[in-house]
A and B are shown apart, each in its own frame.
Chain A
């Protein structure tokens, strides 16, 4: 069934899944734009894929592991923290789950 727009509740639900906040103008635009795109991609239903496997990796690589003795490129703690919004005791400060 063709849906011309998603409901405000649907849009807000998806935004919540993405941890995004939207203003009213964005909600209005997205309810139409998302429905339009979802409608467009239904064109794929014209193709029979009942015996077709998915391709997730185009060059066919599987199980690529780190080589023995490979030099690890990793950041020092100070480098890793360099862009942090807030640092407490040389660690990232996040929203408190319990009181700090």
Chain B
């Protein structure tokens, strides 16, 4: 193993069999590995014991309202885009206990939830999802108040990104400036290259901890040719992306069109099921729930993901602020692409395409925005 210490920005090569060494090095440091794996015929993010759990040799076929897993001709590890899960399930879990309370006489005592923070290493984070994590950082860590649960999980997480060498069917990251190349927000970033009999990863070091971990994995310097090949593969991915979303002046565009007839039209298709919000890697809305045990002596406060497509989401005494599907769809889309900019200084959409794939009626956010934009040209 080379003695030279690795530094930020270094690019190295590890061969495919040594991916297992990387995972083991992370496990030895106490990380629980979370990555893509097959579960009951579906592609999910879950705990990995070794590289054997990765969906090697599988790919995905995605279109609006369509997701199919298919075997590949080759044996690449990361030959698919993504499933319906996003990493937010591990950083901002669907359900979190905030505290519990015990009745004492006329009053009660509050006990904070001091459960140990899991230490996750995320394996195979796509560039769009790196951006999604950065977006949630802004929302949950950089505002007036900080979410201490998210903060604890986020701080201890190790991120192994994987650059995209194939565009998924509903991806539009290239037009959002969020991919297909990982540029920041990772500890290590891999590009998987299968070239004839050669199967290896180009690895970019993104943090000191990343450098330390990689030091423990057999590696060699990356030649210029390898780096060029990886760049070409990623550029090729960008060039073959089927969808795009034009974000020029998008906030102003949508602010001008709160009364656009398109909202009514999309509402006639939308089932208000909320799938799009659950698969969205940036959606952060959560409901607060107070519960008691049967004796009424113990109470707990939980939060769980909430969905702005529910009538309850905007309920105040007397009724809902947004009773119509039109208003709820408009709230979701304008939040992602307009008001989010005013709230957090960035877009709330990273172009991962999950909301398109997992919409049961195939509503396409890029098509909805295009319809509104093009109606302006006709005027």
Q: Do A and B share a complex?
A: no
Q: Which residues of B contact A (CB under 8 A)?
A: none
Q: Which residues of A contact B (CB under 8 A)?
A: none
